[in-house]
Structure 1
Amino acid sequence: MSHAQTITLYRPLLHAIAYNMVRCKQDAEDIVQDTFLKWLSVEQSRIQNTKAYLIRSVTNSCINHLNSLKKKKEAYLEDWSEMVNKWKDTDFLSPDLDAKLQAALSTIHHKLEPLERALYVLKEGFNVDYEALQETFGKKQEHCRQIISRARKKLNDEAVRLKAEMPDSSQFIDNFKKACDFGHVSHLIQEFKKEISDKK
């Protein structure tokens, strides 16, 4: 069987395996493509079972991909308060810092519901007390604690997959930066309230 025939035969199977593992169509396609490229670069006589080789290769690549995502997520979310304090004291013109900010906020945006996101960011990032959160969002303090606890669990849950990007993020990020730079948390709160209202 030719290389082209092998690729045509096994691509659907490998894509199904990759997608079931990474839950992202584009990532699955990239992993399958890389798997075939790797296979083509290996001396074919050394491969006794092509199907088993390809399945093992794509599975290992998916595991490596997921581990990489996990490490990135942990890096973005580790000690959120410390990260925000660092951003408060650092020039936002730094491309690297700005990229990390957007990645962290994107992770939070896509894993949390609007109210969870609002309470988590304000409490963990800006140390807004529970009394103020209760007054701002009309939720009892104990309920706020429960929502924040749930948010932390969601952020650590690998079953909750990240989306590729954070839509319409510019206004939110601008308000976040203002809150860090000038303490204008009110603008950020209004943004959160709008998101919560739009969700209803």
Structure 2
Amino acid sequence: MDDHTTDPATEAFVAHRNLLFTVAYEMLGSAADAEDVLQETWLRWVDADLDEVRDRRAYLVRITTRQALNRLRTLTRRKEAYVGPWLPEPLLTTPDVAENVELAESVSMALMLVLETLSPTERAVFVLREVFDVGYDEIAAAVDKSPAAVRQIAHRARRHVDARRPREAVSERRTRAALESFQHALTTGDLQGFLDVLSPDVVMLSDGGGLRQAAPRPITGALKVARFVIGGARRHQATLTSEFTMVNGSPALVLRVDGEIDGVVAIRFEDDRITGLYYVRNPEKLTRVDSETPLTLR
């Protein structure tokens, strides 16, 4: 084999790697675990008899789904012992993710948190069917269920998610405008400025994972959230700055203390107000906000 030749197994895996990572990430909410799943997928893929594989993309998605399901069950137990609220690992995403409305919604913090309320099998079925448009027969093979059972699971999961997902698709412009108002209030410590942009029943989740200080429970209500954020900003003896970025397909803020990343703030925006604030401070979850992660549905 010369330097310009790639074996078929490697060629197929590389061609679909971004898709496989996206599938694993949407199932797990963790980029680190998604990468581990891809390693496990590769080890099984190179042992496959390619002559027996009719659709290499579908076969790779099937392997990834099975490995992600195994990892998801382990991750569920790990989350039960997690210190404080658990939030998905934020990803710095490429501009094309924001331009793809379907993809941007599927990896948004708001929807990823809704997916956390599904069982592992429900989540796998929902992600494959609703996000990646995989056929019921292929999903059945991936999750070891009958096609009829998969249809029932898909219906149940869709109904569950639809009852909890954001009611409207929000443009990047409106989301950024809301974040600009939040950023201004944060910089100035303007209580009324927070109250003007926060929904009265806003919920804030902060994830420190026991490694950084964070609220141990969700904070509910505009006044409580505003006071918590202002108090946290005032406690910093160093210089606190914020800058816009694109996280999980939507505008977000990266907060820095003396130039070092302190956390990422993403929002859920509905009815012209911020209804959800997601503040990730756990340093183990901030490794993907300095370089872009390519995601795809195809």
Relative to the length of structure 1, the TM-score reads: 0.40
Higher Cα Rg, which structure: 1
Relative to the length of structure 2, the TM-score reads: 0.28
The structure carrying a bigger helix percent of its residues is: 1
